Amino acid sequence: MIERNIAPSALRGRSVLVTGGTGSFGRHFVDYLLHHTEVARVVVFSRDELKQHQMQEQYAGQPRLRFFLGDVRDRDRLMRAFDGVHVVVHAAALKQIPAAEYNPFEFVKTNVLGAQNIIDSAIDRHVEKVLALSTDKASSPVNLYGATKLVSDRLFVAGNAYAGQKPTRFSVVRYGNVVGSRGSVVWRLKQIQPGETFHLTDPRMTRFWITLDQAVRFVMASLDEMRGGEIFVPKLPSMKLTDLIAALAPEVHLKTTGIRPGEKLHEEMISADESRRAVDRGDHYAVLPEIGWAHQERLRGTPLPDGFRYASDSNADWLDCERLRTLLNE
């Protein structure tokens, strides 16, 4: 997992916009930019006026921070927000799997059409770099949320061709479940009281885990090395959900309810088909674009073995209770 320190001068003098900037990742990323880099301006773009107000109070007097109310569905608003922006980190998305199954059109509007709006606006405004956040659900998707993020990933990779001779480059970061993010299973387990019942869909279930701090550092590192068209995948530990519950809430009663619509037993971040064009870069993988562009300098790395698949059940790195507690304390 990437833990490298990024030089404060990496974004010196640049203007960085974060879509979904009031979400769990967005808030941590904005805080990192303000305290650990020499950015000239940080723009929070989101549709939640209450959370923007709360961030304004938190960072009162911070001259480098700006706020833009808007929705990625609104291309005109993005065009206005991207004026003078050098780097965009796209973290805005609808994410809840059950909600996606019942509201598919809404997820398409935000996750797919919103991605197209980001691409068009970035090219027209001459943004230098766009890094979009994806999910392990986008690899071999079985639910609508994963399918919309797969389409989004493909759109951002193809955006490099649409840019032509313009300077804009697009890449993607794909990672697993974020430990402690709002609404996550870790977050829910922290709220539950001893003796209460916790509903588990299937005791065999495994997941990849990453902390918010690790996610922020990985995004920073990916911004530094992206050339355009890559999907960056960190090397993460896996953990069974039953072990997670035993570590965080050992006194709860477990009730198995059966797997939900659109849910997988095990998650995957690189499929066997994708691995044919992926390389190992030490502490992470990079899935390279199938189609190269004349302007692109391709990343180097060790090709993956034939049939390689990066999945949470066959992962070589597993979290035990002690390591999980260490992550949470960090």
The confidence band for 321, taking pLDDT boundaries of 50, 70 and 90, is confident
For residue 87, which phi and psi values (nearest 5 degrees)? Answer: -135, 135
Query: pLDDT at position 161, please?
Result: 93
Query: pLDDT at position 199, please?
Result: 83
Residue 285, domain member (yes or no): yes
Please identify which of the residues 95, 137, 149, 235 carries the catalytic annotation.
Answer: 137
CB neighbour list of residue 108: distance below 8 Å, 6 or more residues apart:
148
CATH at 300: 3.40.50.720
Query: pLDDT at position 132, please?
Result: 98
pLDDT tens per residue across span 292-317: 654 567 789 999 999 999 999 999 99
**Taking a C-beta distance cutoff of 8 angstroms, is the pair 78, 117 a contact?**
yes
Question: Residue type for 310, please?
Answer: Y
Residue 249, domain member (yes or no): no
pLDDT tens per residue across span 199-214: 888 999 999 999 899 9
Residue 327, domain member (yes or no): no
Q: Give the chain's radius of gyration (CA, Å).
A: 20
pLDDT tens per residue across span 170-194: 999 999 988 866 667 777 787 788 8
The confidence band for 291, taking pLDDT boundaries of 50, 70 and 90, is confident
- In the chain, the number of structural domains is 1
Which residues span the domain enclosing 19?
A: 8-176+211-235+268-311
Residue 287, domain member (yes or no): yes
Residue 228, domain member (yes or no): yes
State both tokens at 316: 């070589």
DSSP states along 138-165: GSS--SHHHHHHHHHHHHHHHHHHHHTT
**Is the per-residue pLDDT at 264 higher than 80?**
yes
Residue 298, domain member (yes or no): yes
pLDDT tens per residue across span 21-68: 999 999 999 999 999 999 999 999 999 999 999 999 999 999 999 999
- Is 137 part of the annotated catalytic residue set? yes
User: What region does 180 belong to: left with phi over 0, alpha with psi -120 to 50, or beta?
Assistant: left
**Is the per-residue pLDDT at 254 higher than 70?**
yes
Residue 319, domain member (yes or no): no
Rounded to a whole number of angstroms, the distance between the first and last alpha carbons of the chain is 15
Of the two residues 202 and 121, the one the predictor is more confident about is 121
- Strand 278-280 and strand 284-287: pairing? antiparallel
Of the two residues 303 and 329, the one the predictor is more confident about is 303
If one counts every other C-beta atom within 10 angstroms of the C-beta of residue 58, the result is: 12
Query: pLDDT at position 37, please?
Result: 94
Residue 272, domain member (yes or no): yes
Query: pLDDT at position 179, please?
Result: 81
